[in-house]
Structure 1
Amino acid sequence: MSKTEEGRSAAIIIYAFPTFILLGAIIAFIFPEPFIPLTNYINIFLTIIMFTMGLTLTVPDFQMVLKRPLPILIGVVAQFVIMPFLAIVVAKMFNLNPALAVGLLMLGSVPGGTSSNVIAFLARGDVALSVTMTSVSTIVSPIMTPFLMLMLAGTETAVDGGGMAWTLVQTVLLPVIIGLVLRVFLNKWIDKILPILPYLSILGIGGVVFGAVAANAERLVSVGLIVFVAVIVHNVLGYVVGYLTGRVFKFPEAANRTMAIEIGTQSAGLASGMAGRFFTPEAALPGAVAALVHNITGAVYVGLVRNRPLTKASRKKESVAVSS
């Protein structure tokens, strides 16, 4: 696939994704009954999402950790510090009820979203850094996500940390590892189906989101606007603080753009599925809304930065690994 075709394909994905989620969510809201049974298959949908992600990974993606440890370490740590902290701040700012607050915290505590890699590509960010940050944050999520929820969810909210960790191992870690192993041994065959993998992931996210919307149709009438605003503020702040984090450490501009994307964009489908399973149906709403919002803001971000010239220093450094 040529660079032009790759860019066109990526653009289709990033713009088609929110359109599909929005239309499906509207239909599920108006006619919830046919979609409510989807909530019984959340684990299957999450497995599909993570398995397709694993199939897109390669061993060099993880070797990048050894070549560029500093930006990857800072990026992953920042993601698991900044986004949960911002979730707490935003929940208090908008006085969210406990269910929505814990759902927003779950959104801030899950790993980076797979769409972040596409956004980084279109925004002329550091794509290799983006893929590696997403991979590393996903691999450590069975430890970090339950830990953050246990520490930050509050005494009024019971958290099954062990059950959450085991579910993440089953639905996140194992599918990603199996996908990666298949990519290693069946690389030529996997390369042929790579173009359709993002669409399978989108269908999996749709299954999670549409079920969550259908199960919460009545609640959305009363809390829908505040959830949208809270998720947008949380997301935009993540972009801003993520970009500034890269600037503080004097990373190249391309890496700064990726830091903003990786820290601000979360695995919304995973957040919605986990919150709905371990807390309440209402807690799944922030993640469901984020599946739409994160891709819209991603498209806006691409429009804002894509044509902005990289500095001379950044252009020189784009092809050179950031050393520690």
Structure 2
Amino acid sequence: MRQAAKLISRYFGLLIIAAMLLGFAVPGMFSWVVSRFMGQPVINLLLGVIMFGMGMTLTVADFKLVLERPLDVLKGTAAQFIIMPLIAFGLSMAFGLEEALMVGVVLVGTCPGGTASNVITFMAGGDVALSVTMTTVSTLLAPFLTPAITYLLIQQSVSFSPVSMFVNIVQVVLVPILLGLVIRSVLKESVKVVETYMPALSTLCIASIVGGVIGANATRIMESLGMIVVVVMLHNLLGYALGFLVGRLTGMERRKCVTLAVEVGMQNSGLAASLAAGQFATMPLAAVPAALFSAWHNISGSIFAWLVKSRESKTEEQ
């Protein structure tokens, strides 16, 4: 079991891509993801498991970094919630996306950084401690900033309740994270056993969300596949580029710039898919950008990490 868990965690990107392809090929395979269990959307329960896993990995040291390096954390968090929402809205307008897809792209942009960014930062040789702290801080701010920014950007086009979204994020993000923190403090040393399996379980949950959203919308995705794929790719790649640029312009050293690029470019697409399904249920396509982003940013993140490490190796050789 332990070996299987390690393999799942190691190849998380491939599993998510496989889930996306299976969603297209065998749509009914993940139909349970878009159903309900005991009155709750299954997709929310899956996201809750992912956030619980995140809570289980947090320590007091992660929060100390906010006090020790507040300027670094502030730069990253500000870039996260300014750059990605504006790029999302700008690309939606530039490509003339239909209403549902525009909502989905904006939701991806207004969500906090994804936990996969910590892995990619490590692979790229970035500042992992800063990455974990930025992900944590942006996630804790999400109940307030995600509804507020989403409302500011799409209020002219789509009517929705920011208060309802706030409650939704508290339920599926904040509560599970706090529960994970509490259980970690209670279990203490025993938590290491749980930590062995939580990353694998989180990976399976993310893959299921991707497969479920893709499967439920396979036909409609194929009809508009070209345009939305281009938008999703540009959103992510511009996030990397502008995140790195902000780091450079604000005087950060290279490792921190790499971290900022990854944190800005990689979003919590699972949360975006959950919010789309819960807050914009009349727009099934709104969850599609999140599913595509989830698969794509794992591919691009791995390539980004490889390019950064390759460049560093060449520099050291010279």
Q: TM-score, normalised on structure 1?
A: 0.89
Which residue number corresponds to residue 38 of structure 2? Answer: none
Which residue number corresponds to residue 16 of structure 1? Answer: 11
Which residue number corresponds to residue 284 of structure 1? Answer: 287
Which residue number corresponds to residue 197 of structure 1? Answer: 198
Which residue number corresponds to residue 145 of structure 1? Answer: 146
Which residue number corresponds to residue 4 of structure 1? Answer: none
Q: Which consecutive segments of 4 or more residues in structure 1 shift more than 4 A?
A: 9-15
User: How far, CA to CA, are the matches of 1:90 and 1:17 in structure 2?
Assistant: 28
Amino acid at match of 2:94: M
Which residue number corresponds to residue 107 of structure 2? Answer: 106
- Provide Cα deviations, 1:299-321, integer angstroms capped at 9, x if missing partner: 001110013339x9xxxxxxxxx
Q: Which runs of 5+ in 1 are unaligned?
A: 1-8, 313-324
Given the superposition, is the C-alpha separation of residues 309 and 25 from structure 1 closer, same or farther in structure 2, using an over 3 Å criterion? closer
What is the Cα deviation at residue 32 of structure 1?
Answer: 1.6
SS in 2 for 1:186: helix
Contact 2:20 2:295 in 1 (8 A): no
User: How far, CA to CA, are the matches of 1:182 and 1:37 in structure 2?
Assistant: 29
Given the superposition, is the C-alpha separation of residues 226 and 130 from structure 1 closer, same or farther in structure 2, using an over 3 Å criterion? same
Residues 1:65 and 2:60 aligned together: no
Greater mean alpha carbon deviation, residues 204-213 or residues 31-40: 31-40
Which residue number corresponds to residue 92 of structure 2? Answer: 91
Given the superposition, is the C-alpha separation of residues 268 and 112 from structure 1 closer, same or farther in structure 2, using an over 3 Å criterion? same
User: How far, CA to CA, are the matches of 2:257 and 2:9 in structure 1?
Assistant: 20
Residues 1:298 and 2:301 aligned together: yes
SS in 1 for 2:155: coil
Which residue number corresponds to residue 132 of structure 2? Answer: 131
What is the Cα deviation at residue 10 of structure 1?
Answer: 12
Greater mean alpha carbon deviation, residues 298-307 or residues 32-41: 32-41
Amino acid at match of 1:292: A
User: How far, CA to CA, are the matches of 2:44 and 2:229 in structure 1?
Assistant: 25
Which residue number corresponds to residue 5 of structure 1? Answer: none
User: How far, CA to CA, are the matches of 1:137 and 1:299 in structure 2?
Assistant: 22
- Provide Cα deviations, 1:15-49, integer angstroms capped at 9, x if missing partner: 62232122222222222224223112011011011
Residues 1:244 and 2:245 aligned together: yes
Aligned length: 304
What is the Cα deviation at residue 208 of structure 1?
Answer: 1.5
SS in 1 for 2:27: coil
Contact 2:91 2:231 in 1 (8 A): yes
User: How far, CA to CA, are the matches of 1:86 and 1:247 in structure 2?
Assistant: 19
Contact 2:5 2:196 in 1 (8 A): no
Q: Which runs of 5+ in 2 are unaligned?
A: 36-41
Contact 2:5 2:200 in 1 (8 A): no
User: How much identity, in percent, do the aligned residues show?
Assistant: 41
User: How far, CA to CA, are the matches of 1:52 and 1:61 in structure 2?
Assistant: 15
C-alpha RMSD of matched pairs (Å): 2.0
Q: How does 1:47-62 map to 2 (within 5 A)?
A: 47-62=48-63
Amino acid at match of 1:97: E
What is the Cα deviation at residue 156 of structure 1?
Answer: 2.2
SS in 1 for 2:114: coil
Which residue number corresponds to residue 169 of structure 2? Answer: 168
SS in 2 for 1:113: coil
User: How far, CA to CA, are the matches of 1:127 and 1:22 in structure 2?
Assistant: 25
User: How far, CA to CA, are the matches of 2:87 and 2:254 in structure 1?
Assistant: 24
Q: TM-score, normalised on structure 2?
A: 0.91
What is the Cα deviation at residue 233 of structure 1?
Answer: 0.3
Greater mean alpha carbon deviation, residues 90-99 or residues 171-180: 90-99
Amino acid at match of 1:170: Q
Contact 1:103 1:285 in 2 (8 A): yes
Contact 1:14 1:295 in 2 (8 A): no
Amino acid at match of 2:291: A
Given the superposition, is the C-alpha separation of residues 307 and 12 from structure 1 closer, same or farther in structure 2, using an over 3 Å criterion? farther
User: How far, CA to CA, are the matches of 2:294 and 2:203 in structure 1?
Assistant: 10
SS in 1 for 2:224: helix
Residues 1:308 and 2:314 aligned together: no
What is the Cα deviation at residue 14 of structure 1?
Answer: 7.3
Contact 2:273 2:290 in 1 (8 A): yes
